[in-house]
Amino acid sequence: MAAIIDFLSWALFLVGSLFVFAGALGLVRFPDFYTRIHAGGVTDTFGSELILLAMALQSDDFTTIIKLFFIALFLLLTSPVATHAIAHSAWVGKLNPLVGKNLRYPDKREDL
Amino acid sequence: MVRYIFKTAGRHLALAIVLGLLWLALSGEEHWSNPTLAVFGAGSVLLCVWLADRAGMLDKEGVPTRVFPGIISYMFWLTLEIGKANVAVVRHALSPKLSISPGMLRVPAYQASDIGKTIFANSITLTPGTVTVDVYEGSILVHALTEELADMEGITSMGERVCALDGPEGREWARQKRLEAQEAGREQVSS
């Protein structure tokens, strides 16, 4: 039983790290501000949550699991607020996003 | 009698129960069995409820009791959606050739309460590939990474699930708003 849980936990660590790595890679590769935020979203959600779940499987103490659960919950509640704050300030600051398959800036904001 | 208590002190009771469970979960076994510490715990719970009441925070936004019953199943459903979207975005980030087609779309948001609208906007942002950029009276402006992720029907059905959290009245209100929007759209087309 302990071996199975250990194996599961390490698998989750690896998958979570893969998500964090893919998020970081997307942050570099995507072309403009708004698309880069999406890459950050991957790290925020499954990247961190899977790693927290793996940690919960590693711990043998109930209070530790509860604390990890609350960290995961507050991450889920606060990270979209921060993401929205950044995206909204860019939008209000008149930064136009790239649109379409050939990634062009729109001529006017009304075209979006 | 029970109904009277729930009507007058329902939110106080809900906050006290949640805080009590939080204290039990965070303090661990050796604290519950110690009478002194248990009394301190109960006292701090009561103090918190009293302070929240004094600060005027025990209203439908501070303690949204209406949202509680449906929120658990909604969170499970949302986790599945987030998983699917995560895989899609990771595939785009790792693919050798960038094949993204970003765009903006306006999603109708007919949530009756402000907290419903907040849950909807945050759920959109939490799903990778879509970010809430601006919130208006009856709609939400969303930036999407690709055309497949800018899935109007999927996001609208998420909005309907959030409307259901507002209870039967919220659902009814959303239905009426939707009808009004359809009527307005038809008039625009005919004129």
Average the pLDDT over B97-124 and give the result. 86
**pLDDT surpassing 50 at residue B191:** no
Probe site for chain A from B31, B79, B104, B127 (most A CB atoms < 10 A): B104
Average pLDDT over residues B6-16: 80
Which residue has better confidence, B121 or B182? Answer: B121
Q: What percent of chain A has pLDDT over 90?
A: 44
Residue B48 above 90 pLDDT?
A: yes
Compute the distance between CA of residue A83 and CA of residue B137 in angstroms, rounded to an integer: 21
Residues B90 and A19: beta-carbon distance below 8 Å: yes
Shortest Cα distance, chain B CAs vs residue A87, angstroms: 6
d(CA B191, CA B187): 6
Q: Which of B26, B94, B102 sits opposite A66 (nearest CB)?
A: B26
Q: B139-188, pLDDT tens digit by residue?
A: 889 998 888 888 888 888 888 888 888 777 777 777 887 787 777 776 65
Q: Which residue type is seen at A60? A: D
Query: pLDDT of B58-104, one tens digit each?
Result: 877 777 777 777 888 888 898 898 888 889 889 888 888 888 888 88
Mark yes or no for CB contact B133/A91 under 8 Å: yes
Residue A10 pLDDT grade (very low, low, confident, very high; cuts 50, 70, 90): very high
In chain A, where the domains are located = 2-111
Q: How far A8 CA lies from chain B's nearest CA (Å)?
A: 18
- The ipTM of this complex is 0.86
Rounded to whole angstroms, how far apart are CA atoms A39 and B143? Answer: 13
Tell which wins on pLDDT, A111 or B89.
B89
Give how far A98 is from chain B: nearest CA, Å: 7
Residue written as tokens 């001529």? A107
* More confidently predicted of A18 and B64: A18
Mapped to the 3 state alphabet, what secondary structure does B92-142 carry? HHHCCCCCCCCEEEEEECCCCCHHHHHHHHHHHHHCCCEEEEEECCCEEEE
